[in-house]
């Protein structure tokens, strides 16, 4: 039987759980012992923020974030150099993890700052990202929608192949 559970904050240092329709005579497991499969840090000497993650059909995680650090990308990436502080980074790691698990990484940025929104993987394993920019260049690529920024800040959507190469991107 599926139960609905909610966290309850009793004080600044005490959390509790409320479970709807639970009979106290039955066993209730709130926090089974977690097992860490792998974890890692990613970034450089400057500001690096992770914003969103999704997992492809092979179990490989795709990370989206914002960075001011140079040197994060891989050879052959869509954009190998940081154009300005606060460019987007898109990173694919293998599911095994470890320090050599980077498959590829690319920047996505303009002549201004970008804000990362979210990443999602479609059924064909293309990677779709969204965010916000004030930039006037390098954002729209093969755009059939909006090829120039229209406001002070514009949203953007970009679609990448599973190998990290861009298919298209557009302002919103």
Average pLDDT over residues 122-148: 94
- Strands of 123-165 (E only): list them: 127-133, 154-160
Distance CA(131)–CA(25), nearest Å, equals 49
Distance CA(81)–CA(90), nearest Å, equals 13
Supply the pLDDT for residue 119. 98
Average pLDDT over residues 17-44: 80
Beta bridge partners of 19: 5
Give 64-123 pLDDT, tens digit per residue.
999 999 999 999 999 999 998 899 999 999 998 877 889 999 999 999 999 999 999 999
Distances (CA, A) of 70 to 46, 51, 105, 135: 8, 18, 12, 19
Q: Do the bridges between strand 14-19 and strand 5-11 make them parallel or antiparallel, or are there none, so unpaired?
A: antiparallel
Average pLDDT over residues 45-67: 96
pLDDT more than 70, % of the chain:
97
Q: What is the pLDDT confidence band of residue 33, given thresholds at 50, 70 and 90?
A: confident
Query: What single-letter DSSP state applies at residue 76?
Result: T
Q: Is residue 21 pLDDT above 90, yes or no?
A: no
């Amino acid at each position: 039987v599926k139960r609905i559970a909610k966290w309850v904050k009793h004080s600044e240092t005490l959390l509790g759980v409320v479970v709807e329709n639970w009979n106290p005579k039955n066993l209730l497991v709130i926090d089974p012992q977690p097992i860490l499969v792998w974890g890692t840090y990613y970034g450089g000497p400057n500001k690096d923020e992770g914003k969103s993650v999704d997992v492809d059909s092979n179990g490989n995680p795709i990370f989206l974030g914002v960075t001011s650090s140079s040197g994060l990308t891989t050879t052959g990436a869509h954009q190998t150099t940081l154009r300005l502080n606060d460019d987007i980074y898109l990173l694919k790691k293998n599911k095994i993890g470890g320090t050599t698990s980077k498959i590829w990484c690319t920047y996505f940025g303009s002549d201004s700052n970008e804000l990362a929104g979210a990443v999602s993987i479609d059924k064909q394993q293309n990677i779709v990202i969204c965010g916000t920019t004030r930039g006037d260049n390098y954002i729209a690529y093969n755009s059939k929608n909006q090829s120039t920024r229209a406001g002070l800040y514009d949203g953007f959507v970009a679609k990448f192949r599973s190998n990290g190469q861009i298919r298209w991107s557009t302002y919103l």
